[in-house]
């Protein structure tokens, strides 16, 4: 189940959403604190604050019970709105808006766990470091990463990418050699195109042999933006 908070989360979750009302036969008394909070009279602002408090309580209780497998949030950046998601192991996904955030969330539910919840606080460190990167104050990321969405040679390629220095680039052929398979140039392109952690794992620093930038998961314009920003620093 992907839990969606309409009061605070602009990203719609796809798929069926379970009903929020009581189950048939459930006995909720007027003194039940959740029922009281939901039925108390108030304006739109009161309703939004109540929803936010209940959502925060849900996040805390889900985490405490070990029921929060994937936490996510969004972050506005010069490259557009990014979706950030993390497991207990570390940051697992960074996704651009063009990738369809709802579809990315559904993919995480399918591939990792259906227990996906909007929990911005779990991603404060990632959001802060990305803000610093886009402000030109950070050149490397210091975040635990969950590599489970990449396998085999693709993971070998991605693990190499953070070793390409800020402001530098390598060709697809150079990356193939560094990853141990000099002839696997096309496979390097596929690894970059399917990179689940762009920006943090800098596939934008991989370019064509003639020096042209080539394609990018976030779009060619975003790749130009990132490389231009790094070159100007």
- Tell me if residue 203 is catalytic: yes
The residues pairing with 206 across neighbouring beta strands, listed in sequence order, are 170
d(CA 118, CA 11): 9
Enter the DSSP assignment of 9: -
DSSP string, 163-225: GSPTT--EEHHHHHHHTT-TT-HHHHHHHHHT-SSTTTS-GGGEE-TTS-----TT-HHHHHH
Phi-psi region of 192 (alpha: psi -120 to 50; beta: other; left: phi over 0): alpha
Cβ atoms of 55 and 7 closer than 8 Å: yes
**Residue of 203, 207, 222, 227 marked active site:** 203
The residues pairing with 80 across neighbouring beta strands, listed in sequence order, are 77
d(CA 4, CA 9): 7
Residues belonging to the active site: 203
């Amino acid at each position: 189940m992907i839990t969606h908070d309409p009061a605070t989360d602009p990203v719609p979750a796809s798929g069926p959403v379970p009903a929020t009302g009581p189950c048939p036969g459930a006995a909720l008394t007027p003194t039940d604190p959740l029922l009281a909070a939901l039925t108390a009279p108030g304006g739109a602002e009161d309703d939004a604050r109540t929803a936010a408090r209940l959502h925060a309580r849900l996040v805390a209780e889900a985490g405490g019970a070990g029921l929060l497998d994937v936490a996510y949030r969004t972050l506005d950046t010069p490259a557009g709105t990014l979706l950030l998601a993390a497991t207990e192991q570390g940051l697992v996904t960074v996704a651009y808006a063009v990738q369809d955030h709802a579809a990315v969330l559904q993919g995480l539910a399918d591939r990792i766990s259906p227990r996906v919840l909007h929990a911005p606080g779990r991603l404060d460190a990632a959001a802060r470091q990305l803000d610093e990167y886009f402000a030109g104050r950070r050149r490397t990321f210091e975040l635990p990463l969950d590599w489970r969405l990449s396998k085999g040679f693709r993971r070998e390629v991605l693990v190499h990418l953070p070793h390409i220095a800020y402001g530098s680039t390598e060709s697809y052929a150079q990356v193939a050699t560094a990853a141990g398979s000099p002839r696997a140039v096309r496979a390097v392109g596929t690894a970059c195109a399917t990179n689940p952690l762009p920006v943090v794992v800098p596939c934008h620093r991989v370019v064509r042999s003639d020096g042209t930038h080539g394609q990018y998961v976030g779009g060619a314009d975003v790749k130009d933006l990132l490389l231009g920003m790094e070159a100007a620093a």
